[in-house]
Chains A and B, each alone.
Chain A
């Protein structure tokens, strides 16, 4: 086949075919247009202001590495006047995160950005290795997701930074949208499309400058720019690789590449149709819904910090399974919370069939967690709740917290209040 010339410069050989419009571009023109489009996203949404300090949630993976590289390039090219910092979370997973952190350390040198690493061990007293040792591999992503969310905020707060950018890309958002659509989760459907996440659950603003960037183009950008990024799966969530929403999106892309952005745009349109009280547009509704500050779901499983990927999918699959087996779950709880039958009859949890409707949004006030002081809508924040479970050696708790983040926590609190757990 004769080489195709670039559609823009008409001189160099085209190496890239753009998924969104089939445009055939040479390497140089592709790199330029990729950066320009992100610049357009940034300016159209007024994501940054001059002098702003920005923490880039950096995992060492492709998305956050490309984000850091592009933001540095654009900041210099267009004189944004930004103060860029890399913020990494060390979940404490040997053979996985320690390797990827080495990549982030190299990135910090390559991009001349300061690097802050926040460890689960220092924040929570538990590494993920220890958590998994205690609760097993099943459901550990819930812990990781809850912990990570807070860890990014705390890391930013430690640096005095109020804005964290993450590497979520168009594919991630399309996947999340499909999941929320399929499970009829209107509040999340409404929120998943936003380029900026701003809620009172957190003083830290989040944004996604790569929201309209195809994963394919991110990988090609990293390849053609020779960026140094890390790829390995989290050793605790191999199933994330097979997430069915992910597979669906990639299959759609193979048939019609523009489908990914079409899904993102449709999601934005659908978000506008979500009634206010359900958690769409109004700030107040958002405040209520994001009670645990976790609107992206447990974003564990080795994705870019907070990036919605397979882990969220795994969480959804878990939720679907659990929804089907709600009854079984109830039984599990009754049994598991007791650590034995000694207390049968005295401490049995009353069976409370989980009712789906009416799903009233509790009017909650944001306050501070009575344990750690972190912003929380509940007396005790979700991380502390999980920690309490860990510390008391009650592994099954995670299933309840992980399954119904939005409406189950009060129930859980009630249940916990009704229990007396023998020490040890």
Chain B
């Protein structure tokens, strides 16, 4: 397994975090340091004290994990760009409540782009 520890650890945070695995494929990995799988420690609460959900995760990834400046290739209108599939533990995020799904310890979230040429 090519799991690399996340660079954005909890050292500077007093907040609690949960470990989750984030994967990018279908060309999206190119926007994330050309690395398919990332282990991250996600704060359990967002800045407003709400439990971390997918919307927060996407925003977090954009701010902390994505080095590429072309944010619009991942996020559009405050959510994941249409044409990018989101699978939470292999299930379509539409079955899990999409942005409002609250992340659990050890969740695996996969973002697959369908936008790239085959």
Contact = CB atoms under 8 A, between A and B. Distances in A.
Interface in B21-69: 25-27, 30
A1 B117 contact: no
B116 A233 contact: yes
Interface stretch (A11-19, A39-47, A328-336, A370-378): A11-19
Interface in A1-17: 1, 4, 13-17
A301 B112 CA distance: 20
A64 B118 CA distance: 7
Nearest to B81: A250
Contacts of B82: 247, 250-251, 253-254
Contacts of B85: 216, 219-220
Given A219-B112, A241-B73, A24 B95 contact: yes
Contacts of A193: none
A286 interface: no
Contacts of B92: 15-17, 220
A260 to B, nearest CB: 11
Contacts of A240: 117
A63 B30 CA distance: 20
Interface in A201-221: 215-216, 218-220
B57 to A, nearest CB: 16
Given A63-B118, A167-B118, A216-B85, A232 B91 contact: no
A297 interface: no
Given A24-B95, A216-B85, A232 B118 contact: no
B118 A61 contact: yes
A250 B79 CA distance: 14
A383 interface: no
A180 interface: no
B113 interface: yes
Interface string A272-286: 000000000000000
B117 A17 contact: no
A309 interface: yes
A253 B115 CA distance: 13
Interface in A378-409: none
A250 B73 CA distance: 13
Interface in B102-118: 110, 112-118
Nearest to A238: B70
Chain B: number of interface residues, binned into ranges? 20 to 34
A4 B114 contact: no
A17 B96 CA distance: 11
Given A241-B73, A307-B118, A231 B27 contact: yes
A284 B52 CA distance: 62
A254 B82 CA distance: 6
Interface residues of A, number: 45
B87 A223 contact: yes
A137 B27 CA distance: 21
Contacts of A155: none
A116 B27 CA distance: 26
A65 B117 CA distance: 12
A14 B91 contact: yes
A355 to B, nearest CB: 35
Contacts of A14: 91, 95
Contacts of A231: 25-27, 113, 116, 118
Nearest to B27: A231
Contacts of B30: 232-233
Contacts of B113: 231
Interface in A110-140: none
A49 to B, nearest CB: 27
Nearest to A304: B118
B91 A241 contact: no
Contacts of B95: 1, 4, 14-15, 17, 24
17 contacts: A1-B95, A13-B91, A14-B91, A15-B92, A15-B95, A16-B91, A59-B117, A61-B116, A63-B118, A219-B112, A220-B85, A223-B25, A223-B87, A240-B117, A246-B83, A247-B83, A251-B82
Interface of B: 25-27, 30, 73, 81-83, 85, 87, 90-92, 94-97, 101, 110, 112-118
Interface of A: 1, 4, 13-17, 24, 27, 59, 61-65, 167, 171, 215-216, 218-220, 223-224, 229, 231-234, 240-241, 246-247, 250-251, 253-254, 301-304, 307, 309-311
Given A229-B118, A231-B27, A246-B83, 4 more contacts: A27-B90, A240-B117, A241-B115, A250-B115
